[in-house]
Amino acid sequence: MSYYFTILSPTDVPLFNIAFGTSKSGGDGIARFRFPDTAQYMNQFIIHSSLDMVEEAQWMNGNMYLKHIDTYPPASAYISAFLTPSGARFLLLHQPPHAAGPNANAGGGGGGGGIGGSSSILGGSFAAGSSAARASASSIAANPTSPQTEEAVRQFMAEVYENYVKTVMNPFYRQGMEIRSAVFRSRVTAAGRKWL
């Protein structure tokens, strides 16, 4: 399973982006999306298009966590959303690994959080092969709409929200600014490793 997590301001400006892979069931925490390297914009397109659904769901639902709201079938990308009271949206795109990947070309670097500075949004973490195919069927990675996955995403969102509130309370942060805090990034990475 590969994840792409975005925080959007109420005016749809991205405040924070991170791409990571699953760390469960032997995953190495590196995102391997189904799009080729040249099509990394796809994640943003899908996230952006799902805002339509977020806008609709936020008025239909009293909760902050909106659950799985949208799917992009051609790439089997699933979007879960979380609303904050200030109007910022957390969107998580998750994509199960390709069932029949080409020859496994395990991305070199092990260890989670392979994402470097905030300059490269996707961290160049698209690998050609899909070693993530080894994820077992019972893990949350295999079935993005199962209750287990929903629960895991909810936990993740809650943890990120806690950290987000702390970051936003920082006196040096102005509303609508991009979140550049390295601490926040590492906390999100840790939450991803913990729950997803």
Partner 1 sequence: MTSPGDAAPVKPPPSFSPGVPRGASKTRYPNQRRDSSPSLDADLAESRVASPTPPLSATTSELPIRSASPRTPSFRSSTPQLARSSLGSPVDGRFEGSEEIRSLIIRSFSPVVGVYASADTDELVRQKGFAGGFWQLIRPFGETIPGKLVIRDSVGASRSWEDYGVRFVDLGNNNQSPPESSGGRSSPLAHAEEVLEKQLGSLDDPLGGSLYPKDFLGLPSTSPLYKLYLRQLLSIASATPHETFRHPVACVIAISSRNTAPLETLRRLYADTNNGDKRVPDWIHPEYLRYYVLVHDEDRDDITDSTKLYDQMKRHFGLHCHLLRLRSNQCVVTDDDSVQVPECEWLSPSERLYGRTEPLVDLDTGGLPHVFESDVMAIKAFVRELVAQSVVPYMENRVAVWNDQVASRRRGISGRFMSMSRRWAGFGSGSRSSLTSGGASGNYDTAHGYYKSDAPEAVLRKMADFAFMLRDWKLSASTYELLRSDYANDKAWKYHAGAYEMSAVSMLLSPSSMGTKVKIDAIDQMLETASYSYLTRCSDAPNTLRCLTLAMELLKSRGGSAVESAAKWAMRVMDQGLAGSIGQGLFSERISACYAARNAVPGMKWGSRRRKAGMWSVFAADLWLRLGKPSLASAALEEAERLYADVLQGDGAFSMPEMQTFIDNLRHAVKVEYLEARGLDTRDETATAAALGTEETSEQLDRRKNRKSLVVNPLDSGLSPTQGMRDNDNAADDDFERA
Is the CB of 10 or the CB of 111 nearer to partner 1? 10
Q: Is 151 in the site for partner 1 (CB under 8 A)?
A: no
Q: Is 37 in the site for partner 1 (CB under 8 A)?
A: no
Q: Is 124 in the site for partner 1 (CB under 8 A)?
A: no
Selected from 26, 36, 37, 45, the binder of partner 1 by CB under 8 A is 45
Shortest gap between Cβ of 15 and partner 1 (angstroms)? 10
Q: Is 52 in the site for partner 1 (CB under 8 A)?
A: yes
Burial call 128-159: b when 16+ CB within 10 Å, e when fewer: eebbbeebeeebbbbebeeeebbebbbebbeb
Shortest gap between Cβ of 52 and partner 1 (angstroms)? 5
Instruction: Tell me the DSSP string of 27-90.
Output: --S----SS-GGGTHHHHHHHHHHHHHHHHHHHH--SSEEEEEEEEGGGTEEEEEEE-TTS-EE
How far is the CA of 68 from the CAs of 53, 104, 114, 134, in angstroms? 10, 30, 26, 24
Taking alpha carbons only, the member of 189, 112, 194 closest to residue 154 is: 194
Selected from 64, 106, 121, 190, the binder of partner 1 by CB under 8 A is 121
Selected from 26, 49, 109, 116, the binder of partner 1 by CB under 8 A is 49
Candidates 56-64, 106-114, 165-173, 183-191; binding stretch for partner 1 (CB under 8 A)? 56-64
Q: Which of residues 165-184 bind partner 1 (CB under 8 A)?
A: 176
Instruction: Output the CA torsion 161→164→169→171 (10° steps).
Output: 180
Shortest gap between Cβ of 53 and partner 1 (angstroms)? 8
The number of CA neighbours under 13 Å toward the Cβ of 130 is 18
Selected from 26, 36, 37, 41, the binder of partner 1 by CB under 8 A is 41
Interface positions with partner 1 (CB under 8 A): 9, 11-14, 40-41, 44-52, 55-56, 58-59, 73-74, 121, 176
